[in-house]
Chains A and B, each alone.
Chain A
Amino acid sequence: MKHGKWHKRQVDQSLPAWKVEFLRYKELKPIVSAVSGRPPSPAEFVALLDAEIEKINAFFIEQEEFFIIRHKELQVAIRDALARKAAVPEAAHEAEIAAIRREIVNFHGEMVLLLNYSSVNYIGLAKILKKYDKRTGAVLRLAVIETVLAQPFFTAEAVTLMVRECEAMMEAVFPTAPGEGQAAARRDREALAAAEQRIFRNTVAALLAMEDVRSGSSTRGRHSLPPLTLPDSEWLRSF
C-alpha cells in the first residue's frame, strides 16, 4: 500500500480545487488486488481506466487552456508596463511591476504543479497496470501504457514551453541587483498573498514527494525509474 500512501499525500497536498481531479488510485487498487473474488476482465478494467483517463484529460486540457490565456495576458501586461514606464509616476510603475513579478512566479508555479499532476497520475496508472498484470497474468500493461503516453495530459509540451517562457520573463521584470527599495520591499512583504505560500509549499512538497517515491523499492525492475536524491533535500525540508 506504499504507493497508495504516496499518492494520497500528493493529492492532499495539492491545490484544493484539484484534489478531486486526480486518478482514483485508492479506489482502483482494491479492484485489482482483491484477494477474494475475481479481478476484472481486461475489458472491464480498461473501461475503468478509460473513464479515469478521460476525466484527467478533460481537467488537464481545461487548465491548459486557462494557462494559455493567462500566459498571453502576462506577456501583454509586461509589454504595456514597460512601455508606460516613462509616462507614469515611479510608485505606480513599481506597483505594476511588483504585481507582474508576483504573477509570473505564481503562474509558473501553477503550471509546474499541473505537470506534477500529470506525473502523479501517470505513475499511478503505471503502477496499477503493473499490479493488474501481476494479478491476472495478462499483458495489458505495455499496450495501455503506450496509449497513456500519447494522451493529452501526458503530452504536455505546450505547458513546458510556457514554463520556460515564464522563466525568461523574469529577466525583463526582476531587478538584477538585490535589495532594491527597502521601504517598498517592506510594504510589499506584508502584501504577499496566501496563494503564493500555498503554491510554494505545494511545490516543495511535490519535490520531496518525488524524492520519496523514487527512493528504493522492493519491486524495482526494468520499468522503474532510477532513485532520486535531491542535493538540497535538507534545505527543502526546512521550509
Chain B
Amino acid sequence: MRKCDLRQSHSSRVSGAMSSSLPILPNSLKENFPGPHNPQLASMQRQLTNDSVPLHHSALQSASLHPRAGAMRSVYSGLLGYPANPLDSVPNHDRQSMVASFACQSPDIVAFQPLSNSIPGGHTEETWFPGSVDGLSDYRDIIPASGNQIQNGSPAVTSDVVAQQNEWWDIMNDDWKDILDATANDSQSKSMVQPSNSAASQPAVNQPASSHGGEICNVASPPNSNSAAKQRMRWTPELHECFVDAVNKLGGSEKATPKGVLKLMKVESLTIYHVKSHLQKYRTARYKPELTEGTTGERSSTEELTLDLKSSMDLTEALRLQMEVQKRLHEQLETQRKLQLRIEEQGKYLQMMFEKQSKSNKEKVLGLSSGGAATLSSEPSHSANRSRESDEDDDLNITGDSLGSAELRENSMRAGGNQGPAQSESSDPLASTNDGSQASQEKRRRVHDS
C-alpha cells in the first residue's frame, strides 16, 4: 500500500513525526518542574516559546551528541519547549522516574500515557531553564550565544543549533535506537518497538507479510498512578490465522484451552490473558451464527416489515444496493484519510522549510555562513520561496502550490525512488474529490493500490 511505502521511505521524516510525538508526553510533566530564575534566560525563554520548533530541534541535536541514556532525559526535557507556552524546567529526581516510564512506550503510544495524574494545579508563569537538565551542556552554551540575537527581536531561531538540522535528520534514526535500547533495559516493559522502525513497521504489521503480526502496545503507567501496566494488544489477521490453526489442532474452540493455544502459537509477548479474551470472542462469534441459521423458519413467519425500500425489490437487489452505498462511503472515507495525512505532512514540511529559510537569512545577515551553511541555504531557499507562496494562499487549494512544494520535498528529501507515481497520485485525489466522479476515484484507487 502506498501509505505503507510512504512511511518506510520517509524514515527520517517518520522519525521526525515520531519525535514530535514526544513533546506531548513531557508537556504533561512540565508543570511539576519549577524553574530557577535567571532573568536573561527567562526573557529569552519567553521569546523562544513563541517559536516552538527550534527548541525541538536543538534538543534533539543534543541527543545526537550524547547517545546514552542521559541523552534521553535531555531530549525529553529539551522537548518541553515544544509546543508549549509557558515552559517549566525539570528537577532531576522526578525526571528519572518519568523517563523510565516514558521509555517503555512505543512512540506513538507515548502521547497517551495518563501522566496527567501527576500534574498539580496550573502553573502559568514559571519559566524553563534548559540548563538545569544534565546532558544539555552543549545546549546551554548555545542558548546564551544566540540569546542576544533573540533579544534583538529577530525571529527566534538559534542559528548554530538549527545549522545542524540536516545532520540531525540523518543521525536521529540511529541515535534513537541506541537511546531507547539503553533505556529499555531499565524498563519493565515487555515489548519495545524500535522508534526508527516503529512508525514504518506499524502499517506493515497489518499487512499480510509477517506471520507474527500481532503488536503489543505497552502502555505502562506512571509512578503515581495505581493501575498496573496495561497491555493493549492489537490483533491482526495473520495472528488470528495462527490462533485458529492452534485452536483447530487442539480440537476446536470448545476443547482448546488458552494455555494450550498460547503454547502452540509460540508468539513472543503474547500473554495468556490475550489468548483467553480472544478465545472468548472467538467462541461467541462461532456460536451466534449457528443460532441465527436455526431461526430461518421463524423469519418466514414475520409479517410486518418496516422496509419501505426493500419491500419493493427482491432481496438480492436490495443487498446489492446497500453494498453500493457502503462502498461509496468507504471510498470517500479513504480519500479523506489520504488527504488528511497529506495535509499534515505538508504542514510539517512547510514549517521546516520556513525555518531553514529564516535560518539561512539570518546567516547571511550576520555573516556567519560557512561553506556548509551556504550550500544549505541555496537549496532550501528555493523551496521556501515556493512554500511562502502557498502560505499566503489561504483559500484551500491543495492542488497548485502546495503540491508543487510536495514535489520539491520529495525530490530533496528522498534518496531516489518513485517520484513519478507519487506526483501523479498527488494530483489525482484532489481532482477527483472535487468532482466526486466515481470513475476517476476508481482509477485513483487502482493507482494507489499499485
A→B interface (CB under 8 Å): 38, 40-44, 46-48, 50-51, 53-54, 57-58, 61, 64-66, 68-73, 77, 95-96, 98-99, 101-105, 108-109, 112, 115-116, 119, 122, 126, 136-140, 142-147, 149-152, 154-155, 157-158, 160-163, 167, 170, 174-175, 178-180, 182, 185-192, 194, 196-197, 199-200, 203-204, 206-207, 210, 214, 220-232, 236, 239
Contact = CB atoms under 8 A, between A and B. Distances in A.
A119 B112 contact: no
Nearest to A160: B334
Given A115-B333, A151-B112, A231-B438, 19 more contacts: A41-B123, A42-B27, A43-B31, A43-B119, A51-B114, A58-B232, A64-B234, A72-B244, A96-B293, A105-B319, A139-B85, A146-B20, A147-B111, A155-B206, A170-B323, A178-B317, A185-B315, A189-B314, A225-B340
For the residues of B in contact with A, the DSSP-based class is helix
Given A167-B323, A197-B307, A115 B330 contact: yes
Interface in B108-144: 108, 110-116, 119, 122-124
A197 B114 contact: no
Given A53-B112, A189-B311, A175 B316 contact: yes
B85 A138 contact: yes
B146 interface: no
Interface centre among A41, A102, A227 (most CB of B within 10 A): A41
Contact of B199 (A58, A150, A189, A200): A150
Given A99-B293, A142-B351, A187 B316 contact: no
B325 A204 contact: yes
> Which size bracket describes the interface of B in this complex?
35 or more
Contacts of A175: 316
29 contacts: A38-B122, A38-B124, A50-B113, A53-B112, A58-B232, A61-B232, A65-B278, A65-B281, A68-B235, A70-B285, A119-B333, A137-B85, A139-B83, A143-B83, A146-B20, A147-B108, A147-B111, A149-B340, A152-B234, A188-B314, A188-B315, A191-B299, A192-B315, A194-B306, A210-B332, A222-B347, A222-B393, A225-B339, A226-B396
A229 B436 CA distance: 6
B17 A65 contact: no
Contact of B296 (A64, A68, A99, A222): A99
For the residues of A in contact with B, the DSSP-based class is helix
